[in-house]
Amino acid sequence: MATIPASMEASIDKDGLVVVTGAGGFIGGHLVADLRRRGFEHIRAIDAKPLSEWFQSFGDVECRQLDLAGLDACREAAEGAAYVFNLAADMGGMGFIEANKALCMLSVLINTHLLMACREAGAERFFYASSACIYPIDRQETTDVAALKERDAYPALPEDGYGWEKLFSERMCLHFSEDFGLKARVARYHNVYGPNGTYEGGREKAPAAICRKVAQAKLSGTNEIEIWGDGQQRRSFMYIDDCLRGTELLMWSDVQEPLNIGSAELVSIDELVDLVEHIAGVKLNRRYKLDAPQGVRGRNSDNTLIRERLGWEPSISLREGLEETYRWVHDQIVAGRTQPALAS
């Protein structure tokens, strides 16, 4: 459960309607579960997918299937809302992002229309899930990377497609705050991972993909793993529990500027594989697919500002989070559960 300081907790009206968009997805599903645990009485969960395809759903939560690219759907979602967490987007891992730039950019309709609907509905607070992909790519071209500070976002040169959409939507949040008084909060997530998420099908991110590949190699006895790129790309990965705490601390705070929410524990992809192999108790032969999507060469989160503003930063170790994630992915594979493949 995300822990919130008592003074902040006391200021939250838990009888107010909380809307979570993207609630059928990985982070959104965990957020709904956490809000329930923390005593919020009225939660509306929104996702474009049929309820049967949601990663998590709850009988005491109002669940609606809505395509939030349209303004009317956003109005329906925001009706009566006090607080809105916008986690809805068409996105996935690097393979999806690089091959679907237009689809990623169309998510701008979701945030734009949802902001308009929240203003009309008189919502008090609005949370937007942005991404570290907004940072200039020329600051991420080597493995010897300097951790990214929030001020590094400008002059702008984000990742094409997905990064530009996220940066534009950040500006929309800023100006809705300035012009209309909506208390918008923006988090720049850095590589969130954990159980109850995508681990196959084309939208999975590196930690889940590596957990799946290691589990499959162990269970099948193939003793081999394919790694996208040369394995030297470096990243930081944040466990879902840290993501939830950072999200809720920021949502209820007075912080008006975007904040990094990400781990500062930097590892290479090869080191990520080492960790999962150790957890699984195997050692695999590595086959490097050099023509696969790799993203930037290096990216890490500078957490100076979040420590200053919120007195907190993500702290769950990669080893600890991967143990939980690998166990869950392994169990899904053993149980024969499958996830839909990305349409070509």
CA angle 30, 129, 133 (to 5 degrees): 120
Whether residue 314 is preceded by a cis peptide bond, meaning omega within 30 degrees of 0, is: no
**CA distances to 128, 138, 158, 247 from 94, in Å:** 21, 17, 14, 23
Q: Which tokens hold the place of 103?
A: 């689809």
Q: How far apart are CA 166 and CA 188, in angstroms?
A: 9
Q: Is 162 an active-site residue? A: yes
Contact indicator for 76, 116 with CB cutoff of 8 Å: no
Contact indicator for 121, 80 with CB cutoff of 8 Å: yes
Q: Name beta bridge partners: 286.
A: 225
The alpha helices in 25-161, defined as continuous H runs, are 26-37, 71-78, 94-99, 101-105, 108-121
C-alpha closest to that of 186 among 137, 125, 136, 238: 125
Q: DSSP states of 143-210 as a string?
A: SSPPPBPGGGG-S----TTHHHHHHHHHHHHHHHHHHH--EEEEEEE--EE-SSS--SSS---HHHHH
Q: What is the Cα Rg of the chain in Å?
A: 19
Pairing of strands 266-268, 234-236: antiparallel
C-alpha closest to that of 129 among 81, 75, 88, 93: 88
User: Of the listed 83, 128, 162, 239, which one is catalytic?
Assistant: 162
Q: Which tokens hold the place of 268?
A: 């290479």
Q: How far apart are CA 161 and CA 145, in angstroms?
A: 23
Q: Active-site positions?
A: 162
